[in-house]
């Protein structure tokens, strides 16, 4: 990238949608995300998780328009009352985190996230929960706390007058609710183990995450993946310089062995900074399905979106 291009401010948005099986819906969402000025740089549809992960890079205005366009398709096409998948979820457009990528500060990203939250509440009548750096209350900084109980649990809580959204209607319809946030780039890292006991995976996740006294800068949940006859420990590594993929993987291997479980492989969902994954790390953590040309962030910044 030339000197002029390298000064262009870039914001990222990483919308996750509760659809990983219907190709027409997946394609419709991805087509909607690709608005002028925004570049869809990553998409992964996972049938087991029944989830679509995407990443869009562009100007603040472009990624705002992209997120709203993708959400509109999801709300029109996805019914949470019929949705069953391994991954926790609370909405058709489940989570919309914005992140600073280049020459953009966190205060600007927080302002953008809150503005998009207001747009989603007004234009799509979605209950909106602000989380991460965009949270307006300390109890909603954690996505896990916001999404606790999933669609069904949150729907019932709101109906009872509890856990009310920050914006939008106080009722969850077929499209559920959405969490809109601001955060630094993180690594979504899943480790798969033999077995069908979700409690074992959950125990490992509780032991490994920072909030349980485990590894710093790690958030984790454990659940079953019946389609693979496995369980997974699904982690967000929020600061890879503090705890990287290799350290997290080795900790899961050790905890799994203590429970008689074997780690089979791992995956990175979305983008990863080049410094977070050395060549030897990929083999060590038994990484599958990783595409360096489309998943290493720096390679995607070689051209302006």
Residues with a known catalytic role: 87
Tokens of 179: 């969490």
H helices present in 34-100, as ranges:
60-77
DSSP assignment, residue 188?
A: E
- Count of other CB atoms within 10 angstroms of residue 18: 26
Sign of the C-alpha dihedral computed for residues 100, 106, 111 and 113 taken in this order: positive
**What is the β-pairing status of strands 128-132 and 38-46?**
unpaired
- 280 Cβ contact list (under 8 Å, min separation 6): none
Q: What is the C-alpha separation between 70 and 87, in angstroms, rounded?
A: 20
Q: What is the C-alpha separation between 147 and 145, in angstroms, rounded?
A: 6
Q: What is the C-alpha separation between 129 and 180, in angstroms, rounded?
A: 6
Question: Please, are residues 136 and 181 in contact by the beta-carbon 8 Å criterion?
Answer: no
């Amino acid at each position: 990238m030339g000197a002029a291009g390298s000064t262009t401010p870039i914001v990222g948005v990483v919308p996750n949608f509760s659809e990983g099986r219907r190709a027409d819906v997946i394609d419709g969402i991805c087509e909607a995300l690709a608005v002028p000025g925004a570049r869809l740089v990553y998409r992964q549809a996972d049938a087991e998780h029944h989830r679509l992960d995407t990443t869009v890079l562009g100007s603040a205005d472009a990624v705002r328009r992209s997120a709203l366009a993708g959400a509109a398709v999801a709300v029109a096409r996805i019914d949470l009352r019929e949705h069953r998948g391994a991954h926790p979820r609370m909405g058709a457009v489940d989570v919309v985190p914005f992140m600073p990528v280049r020459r953009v500060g966190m205060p600007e990203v927080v302002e953008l996230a809150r503005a998009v939250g207001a747009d989603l509440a007004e234009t799509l009548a979605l209950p909106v929960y602000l989380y991460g750096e965009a949270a307006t209350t300390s109890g909603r900084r954690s996505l896990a706390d916001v999404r606790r109980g999933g669609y069904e649990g949150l729907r019932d809580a709101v109906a009872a007058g509890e856990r009310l959204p920050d914006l939008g209607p106080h009722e969850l319809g077929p499209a559920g609710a959405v969490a809109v946030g601001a955060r630094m780039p993180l690594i979504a890292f899943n480790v798969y183990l033999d077995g069908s006991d979700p409690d074992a995976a959950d125990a490992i996740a509780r032991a490994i995450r920072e909030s349980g006294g485990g590894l710093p800068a790690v958030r984790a949940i454990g659940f079953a993946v019946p389609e693979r006859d496995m369980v997974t420990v699904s982690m967000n590594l929020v600061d890879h310089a503090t705890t990287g993929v290799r350290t997290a993987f080795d900790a899961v291997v050790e905890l799994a062995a203590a429970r008689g479980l074997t780690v089979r492989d791992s995956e990175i969902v979305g983008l990863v900074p080049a410094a977070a994954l050395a060549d030897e790390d990929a083999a060590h953590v038994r990484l599958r399905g990783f595409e360096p040309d489309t998943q290493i962030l720096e390679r995607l910044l070689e051209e302006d979106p």
